[in-house]
């Protein structure tokens, strides 16, 4: 329980919101309204976007590597009936949920891609390399961050299987995939409607409501 709470609170730090607020902008009121790195990049520039991206990824990595290890140093994992691997998994998933549903913003957060990347770096870094390659290829051809993220997330369980991860880890990565796709449901709708914005392209104005 302590692992879940600590990791959730670490993941719930709304980095994008705080960076934008420091510049007098409520990032939730501009662009897509998302607090993640992509929206920050579009409206606050490259430096702010990269900072948010790295900070959000760091939250996930810290939750697994530092948070769960510190707790395991105080609490014997075996005594709780859970393996050390499960402590790490619980910490990672809790951090992603903290980012996606942050308690500091009425449980409305980001899409969790950067935070998930940090978690995967700590848990299954070979799989992360594979899905990062998928992300780069899709983004290079389409310039859609959302489509690249969806394709990378969709390939995660297969990457975990290819790299010889445990059945438990494959199931967990599949659950992370479903959560990532669910959080991109608005992007999927815009992609299908042809109204999703590309990086480097002209912003597409939302369609006017029908009379």
Looking at the structure, tell me whether residues 10 and 37 fall in a common domain.
Answer: yes
Looking at the structure, tell me whether residues 28 and 106 fall in a common domain.
Answer: yes
> Is residue 150 within 8 Å of 139, Cβ to Cβ?
no
- The yes-or-no verdict on residue 104 having pLDDT over 50 is yes
User: How many percent of the chain have pLDDT more than 90?
Assistant: 77
Looking at the structure, tell me whether residues 107 and 144 fall in a common domain.
Answer: no
Looking at the structure, tell me whether residues 162 and 103 fall in a common domain.
Answer: no
Looking at the structure, tell me whether residues 97 and 137 fall in a common domain.
Answer: no
Looking at the structure, tell me whether residues 58 and 92 fall in a common domain.
Answer: yes
* Residue 208 falls inside a structural domain: no
Looking at the structure, tell me whether residues 133 and 115 fall in a common domain.
Answer: no
How many structural domains is the chain composed of? 2
pLDDT confidence of residue 66: 83
Query: Where in the sequence is the domain holding 149, given as residue range(s)?
Result: 124-199
Of residues 156, 150, 94, the one with CA closest to residue 120: 156
Q: What is the pLDDT of residues 134-161, one digit of tens each?
A: 999 999 999 999 999 999 999 999 999 9
Residue 58 and residue 12: Cα distance in Å, rounded? 12
Last residue of a domain, one of 100, 123, 146: 123
pLDDT confidence of residue 118: 97
Looking at the structure, tell me whether residues 80 and 137 fall in a common domain.
Answer: no
* Residue 188 falls inside a structural domain: yes
Last residue of a domain, one of 123, 142, 160: 123
> Is residue 60 within 8 Å of 139, Cβ to Cβ?
no
Instruction: State pTM to two decimals.
Output: 0.89
- Residue 207: exposed, middle, or buried by beta-carbon count in 10 A (0-12, 13-18, 19+)? exposed
Looking at the structure, tell me whether residues 93 and 137 fall in a common domain.
Answer: no
Percent helix / strand / coil, the chain, rounded to 5: 75, 0, 25
């Amino acid at each position: 329980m302590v692992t879940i709470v600590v990791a959730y609170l670490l993941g719930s730090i709304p980095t994008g919101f705080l960076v934008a607020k420091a510049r007098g902008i409520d990032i939730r009121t501009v662009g897509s309204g998302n607090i993640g790195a992509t929206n920050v990049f579009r409206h606050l520039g490259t430096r702010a976007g990269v900072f948010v991206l790295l900070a959000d990824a760091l939250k996930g990595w810290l939750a697994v590597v530092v948070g769960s290890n510190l707790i395991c140093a105080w609490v014997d994992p075996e005594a709780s009936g859970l393996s050390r691997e499960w402590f790490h998994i619980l910490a990672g998933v809790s951090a992603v949920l903290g980012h996606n549903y942050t308690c500091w913003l009425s449980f409305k957060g980001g899409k969790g891609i950067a935070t998930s990347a940090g978690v995967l770096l700590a848990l299954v870094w070979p799989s992360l390399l594979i899905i990062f390659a998928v992300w780069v290829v899709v983004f290079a051809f389409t310039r859609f961050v959302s489509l690249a993220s969806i394709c990378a997330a969709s390939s995660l369980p297969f990457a975990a299987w290819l790299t010889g991860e445990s059945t438990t880890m494959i199931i967990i990565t599949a659950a992370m995939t479903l959560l990532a796709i669910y959080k991109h449901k608005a992007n999927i709708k815009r992609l299908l409607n042809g109204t999703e914005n590309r990086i480097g392209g002209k912003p597409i104005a939302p369609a006017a409501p029908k009379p």
